[in-house]
Structure 1
Amino acid sequence: RIAERKFILRLIPSGILHDECVCVIGNGTVINPEAFNSELQELREMGIECEGRLFVSSRAHLILPYHNALDRVREERLGANSVGTTMRGIGPAYEDKAARTGIRAGDLLYPDLLRDKIRRNIEDANRELSSLGAAPLDVEATMDGFLDEALQLKPFIRDTSAFINKSVREDRTVLLEGAQGTMLDVDHGTYPFVTSSSATAGGAATGLGIPPKAITGALGIAKAYTTRVGG
């Protein structure tokens, strides 16, 4: 909240609210293009322009509609044994990243090659959805709808690792903003009731593509009482 204005940002860094800041969404994230565009539009309606001040890593992975579908069907299938996911497709998107089949923001720069990759991934997801008793997705309609949203990211895509490292070398002030919390870290948290990425300060270096020695300090925040998604 700034003055009487309330901002809720889940993807775009909060530094965007300050005119002098340049913001980066790093390679360690997964991005839902529709959610990104929605936040962008909300900021514009409040008079905050992001062009030239917001960059998305070309290596950041994208959340596609089939990720959401798989997340929801798997969680429903587990019933009382469910992990408590937000069902936003985050886990399945990181699965694709680890399996080396994911769609990255940089792929949007090559739409002809991208369509074949997306089509193959949706077809693979449909096989799993069908095996779990869920309706498969319409391949072409799903792909077209996704690309309508995702291609709007193109003006923001760049090699953010090079940009941040250059800023560090020039001794500019760089503030890294994390999400989640230590006990949700995929390695050090309360596994399996965790998120799908590294949520500790140590994950900042790999999540942005900078050397660990570039991080000169870390500030941790503790809540007065314990909460987590899913209870």
Structure 2
Amino acid sequence: MANVAVIGAQWGDEGKGKIVDWLSARADVVVRFQGGHNAGHTLVIDGVTYKLSLLPSGVVRKGKQAVIGNGVVVDPWALTAEIEKLKGQGVEITPDNLIVAENAALILPLHRELDAAREAGADAIGTTKRGIGPAYEDKVGRRAIRAVDLKDFSTLPAKVARLLSHHNALRRGVGAEEISADTVLAQLTEIAPKVLGFIGPVWKVLDDARKASKRILFEGAQAVLLDVDHGTYPFVTSSNTVAGQAAAGSGIGPRQIGYVLGIVKAYTTRVGEGPFPSEQKNDVGERLGTRGAEFGTVTGRKRRCGWFDAVLVRQTCVTGGVDGIALTKLDVLDGFDEIKVCVGYTLHGKPLDYLPADAVEQAAIEPVYETIPGWSESTKGARSWAELPANAIKYVRRIEELIDAPVALLSTSPEREDTILVHDPFLG
């Protein structure tokens, strides 16, 4: 049985939460390996909706080990709030079923404040203003406060002083008041007891799971087109979102990832700024957004909508290391007389079969569409190929051809069981 990494293969919001939850029935351990509480994973289970931002989606299943890896930047206040919220929905989260990497960098209130100040300026890129980017900056700048630092307060004053020597200079630059070391230390003193019980050596927990032949599911946040290296830079997140990060972000070797499942929506959406070749600023875009309930789980922002872009997904399948895809929200396309798929680009009149890295060129490309017949029958809730209209099946098969990757799973509603299994990723 293969361990599985799940990543978004567009701009996020593809439905990773449901798919990870569905797959977690076959897994023993579920791991978040990058991002922060800017993720937004919605699960609908027996009519109950759970909205997760930091916790792994598998945490709502009893008997599963949930892991937050070192590649995640952790806001301890957001973590405790999410734990309490789920507790109110009957989901018990304790150190027995959740472990947070001791070497994970923390998001502090000063990170959120800096993020918001930057987004209020002329260079806003559409972040969630939750401090993710500034926290990653401190991590690579070797001045971050890490989870393990909460265990020994005698060492914290020097670490906080080093952090503030950088941040107070930034705060002066954006016109914000400087922050005192006493304020930060008081914040950490208040939150530490609430999270210390969850902190431990994730790499060792995962190695023990490997030795015990347990199945591990690695859950990515955001998506490949938001990857800091491979996405539409600078309109990206602050971490690597490709499957290769599952190893670095959790402390296991790359050979332990046996199958990479890319989550792909049957059309395309994007939140925030940046290029979007197949965007439909018309009735089609409005129809997709309304039927698909396209509002951000975390931000509540309306998502931009457009036709499926096979050029982008073919590219993310390569850079993301995708073996097969889970195609979601097929039911949103029900009732369209015809459906368009972006199959290529032109740049200054010349054909192009990939998304260039240059932001100016990205903004200048024009989509080339192929028109596919739609279907009037409903696909919502289908759980087998036999329940799908013929044209819906043709649409799925054409997508497989265009992106050069097979469909392993097909989702036809937010409900957990409304899923067609074509190939079990855990079988490799």
Answer yes or no: same fold by TM over 0.5: yes
Amino acid at match of 1:53: N
Letter in 2 for 1:54: L
Which of these residues, 137, 141, 148, is aligned with residue 99 of structure 1?
A: 141
Q: C-alpha deviations, 1:24-64, integer Å up to 9, x for none?
A: 00000001111100011112222222111000000111001
Q: Which residue of 1 aligns with 2:75?
A: 32
Could you list the per-position Cα deviations for residues 148-202 of structure 1 after superposition, in whole angstroms to 9, with x for gaps in the alignment?
A: 1243110001100111011112111111111110000111111111111110111
CA contact (8 A) 1:24 1:56 kept: yes
* 1:105-132 deviation line (CA, Å, top 9, x unaligned): 1111112212331244234312221122
- The partner residue of 2:87 within 44, 57, 66 is 44
Given that 2:143 and 2:162 are in contact with CA atoms closer than 8 Å, whether structure 1 keeps it comes out as no
Instruction: Provide the residue aligned with 2:118 in structure 1.
Output: 74
The equivalent residue for 2:107 is: 63
Q: Is the 8 A contact 2:157 2:181 kept in 1?
A: no
**One-letter amino acid of the counterpart of residue 15, structure 1:** G
Cα distance in 1 between the residues matched to 2:248 and 2:131: 22
Measure the CA separation in 2 of the matches of 1:221 and 1:74.
Answer: 31
Task: Tell me the SS of whatever aligns to 2:100.
Answer: strand
1:89 aligned partner: 131
Q: Distance in 2 between matches of 1:151 and 1:101?
A: 22
Report the Cα offset of residue 100 of structure 1: 0.7
Are 2:57 and 1:14 equivalent residues in the alignment? yes
Amino acid at match of 1:197: S
Distance in 2 of aligned mates of 1:43 and 1:170: 29
**Backbone CA RMSD of aligned residues:** 1.5
2:166 pairs, out of 124, 137, 156, with: 124
| Superimposed CA distance per residue, residues 59-92 of structure 1 (whole angstroms, 9 cap, x where no aligned partner) | 1110011111111222223x2x421111111111
Deviation at 1:219, TM superposition (A): 0.8
2:156 counterpart residue number? 114
Superposition pairs of residues 178-193 of structure 1, within 5 angstroms: 178-193=220-235
Deviation at 1:222, TM superposition (A): 0.7
Question: What amino acid sits opposite 1:198 in the alignment?
Answer: N
Q: Structure 1 or 2: larger helix share? A: 1
Report SS of the residue matched to 1:56. Answer: strand
Distance (whole Å) between structure 2 residues aligned to residue 45 and residue 116 of structure 1: 38
- Rounded to whole Å, the distance in 2 between the matches of 1:147 and 1:29 is 22
- Structure 2 letter corresponding to 1:2: I
Q: Is the CA contact (8 Å cut-off) linking 1:65 and 1:146 kept in structure 2? A: no
Unaligned stretches of 5+ residues in structure 1: none
Q: Is the Cα contact below 8 Å between 1:23 and 1:53 reproduced in 2?
A: yes
Instruction: Say whether 1:159 aligns with 2:201.
Output: yes
Structure with greater Cα Rg: 2
Structure 2 partner of 1:225: 267
The farther-off stretch of 123-132 and 95-104 is 123-132
Cα distance in 2 for partners of 1:82, 1:124 equals: 21
TM-score (norm 1): 0.93
Q: Partners of 1:14 and 1:131 in 2: how far apart?
A: 39
The answer to which structure has the higher strand fraction is 2
| C-alpha displacement of 1:138 | 4.3
Question: Where do 4+ consecutive residues of structure 1 move more than 4 Å?
Answer: none
**Distance in 1, Cα, partners of 2:161 & 2:186:** 10
Residue type of the partner of 1:57?
Answer: A
Check whether the contact 1:119–1:143 (CA below 8 A) recurs between aligned residues: no
> Contact 2:56–2:68 at 8 Å: present in 1 too?
yes
Q: Is the 8 A contact 1:71 1:89 kept in 2?
A: yes
